[in-house]
Amino acid sequence: MTDKGSAAPSPQPTVPDRKRGLWALAVLAGIQLLIVVDASIVNVALPAIRDDVGFSLQDLQWVITAYTLAFGGLLLLGGRLADRFGRRRMLVAGALVFAGASFVGGCADTAALLVATRAVQGVGAAVMAPAALALLMRVFPAGRERTVALGVWAGVTAGGTALGLILGGVLTQVLSWPWVFWINVPVAITAAGVAVIVLPAGEGNRADRIDVAGALTVTGGVMALVYGLVRTTDKGWASTETVVALVAALVLLAVFGALQVRLDDPLVPVRLLRNRTVLGADVIGLIFGVAIYAVFYFLSIFLATVLGYSPVRVGLAFLPMTVAIALAARVAGGPLAWVRPHRLAVGGSLLVALGVGLLMRIGPGVGYVGTVLPGVVLAGLGLGLAFVPLTAAAVSAADPADGGIASALFNAGQQLGGAIGLAVLTTASAGRTSRLVADGEAPIAATVAGWSFGFGIAAVIALIGAVVAAATFTPAAVHPMRGGR
């Protein structure tokens, strides 16, 4: 196995022996699981964190948003660093940063320190994620090995969020909330050590320049955008703070776009965005990020505060979704591996839209089995079916030299979709609740109606994902069994 980063094209890699290949898949999938789980593991612990650390209800979402924002905002830079300095090297460096931030996060006794450590965790994740996916596509050649690897990867990516809720509930109730951070430390350090042994070393292409200006403008633009959207909840759209943040976001993102067109070594090569299949996969990944975060954020709070579920029970309520994702990803990467990717992508998006739409039926007196269960199972099946072709298209359809940045774009879409989508949906939900309370609705009923409204918006966005999949994934789109461009 060799990894030359973005060096000259080399023959297709092969896995030297089955045992080494299994270890490589285990460490890469484990890294991805660690990253995805950490985006959701704190959800169930939020009430305990609020009481112990002293967050206001409005600022509590920053415990989640700080991580997803730093992660999504820096993923493009992380992908370029992996291509330039070597993917294994950056994977190990990111894992160690992640471990250190996790330890400090568990020790945090102020809101500012906890949010800061969550952001540093996001930095570590932004370095690890693109390197891990690029290594997976490099290590496993097109054919059965890659199909199986992508099935595992897709299941981990789509199901890790639900698993994080389950694990977060158990740790918070049995131990205490700091353990949702401390559990990362031995896992990240072990993964870094195993990666050095089983993954290919590569020097990358040191001739590539790093687009620092592009990294700063896109990160600053995204942060300003999310901050502005979040502040609309309590400041309103017309406030000076909101307007300044949103205008700054537009200016910074416009500058980023201009830089990418003009620079010789941009952070995001324009050729990637001109690739119809890659662009479609990235857009659908962003849309799925919106839907996934809406489900987990609104539903976890609903189960805990309205239905009175304990942290463990909240986590277990998402277990059927995790199982559905794993089974669907297995089907998509196994018996249905020869089904054309566009059908899986379109069908999966439709199932996600239907599942999220069914969650609009939540209310103070509803039951889990009749109202929540059908929605989470259908959404899980859709995510599992769609993630295999989406992951293959996002990376395999790109030039091998762009493997790191291509995987970064796909991951960035999901994380930024989650951060921006959560900001938009919480704002819309809060607005709907305020209007209902003003009209005389009981506070609890109005709050639940606001969450239901958020699910409705997320379902419509998921339907748009199906349209994007139908428009961009042609029958000849890249396939994990056949590889190609």
| pLDDT number for residue 374 | 92
Place of tokens 């990637």: 272
Inter-helix orientation angle 403-438/111-139, to 10°: 140
C-alpha to C-alpha distance for 221 and 246, rounded to whole angstroms = 9
| pLDDT number for residue 152 | 74
C-alpha to C-alpha distance for 167 and 470, rounded to whole angstroms = 36
253, 285: one domain: no
| pLDDT number for residue 481 | 43
| pLDDT number for residue 448 | 85
202, 274: one domain: yes
| pLDDT number for residue 437 | 87
Look at the chain and report how many structural domains it folds into.
2
| pLDDT number for residue 378 | 92
**pTM, 2 dp:** 0.70
C-alpha to C-alpha distance for 221 and 250, rounded to whole angstroms = 7
| pLDDT number for residue 103 | 92
Give every CB contact of residue 343 below 8 A, 6+ residues apart in sequence: none
195, 285: one domain: yes
Domain that holds residue 233: 211-264
252, 273: one domain: no
189, 119: one domain: yes
| Tokens, residue 396 | 């395999």
Q: Please provide the DSSP assignment of 303-337 as one string.
A: HHHTS---HHHHHHHTHHHHHHHHHHHHHHHTTTT
| pLDDT number for residue 251 | 93
| pLDDT number for residue 15 | 44
Among candidate residues 119, 90, 133, 96, the one with its CA nearest the CA of residue 411: 133
Which of 200, 232, 264 lies at the terminal end of a domain, its last residue? 264
239, 178: one domain: no
Q: Could you tell me if residue 334 is inside a domain?
A: yes
Q: Which residues of the chain have pLDDT under 70?
A: 1-21, 56-59, 61, 137, 141-147, 150-151, 154-155, 157-159, 161-162, 201-210, 230-237, 332-342, 395-404, 407, 415, 473-485
| pLDDT number for residue 232 | 67
Q: Could you tell me if residue 195 is inside a domain?
A: yes
Specify the CATH number for the domain of residue 79: 1.20.1250.20
120, 250: one domain: no
Q: Could you tell me if residue 13 is inside a domain?
A: no
DSSP H helical segments within 140-268, as ranges?
Answer: 144-174, 179-182, 184-198, 212-235, 240-262
Q: Could you tell me if residue 87 is inside a domain?
A: yes
339, 195: one domain: yes
Residues 214, 179: contact at Cβ < 8 Å?
no
| Tokens, residue 166 | 């389950």
C-alpha to C-alpha distance for 446 and 441, rounded to whole angstroms = 6
84, 195: one domain: yes
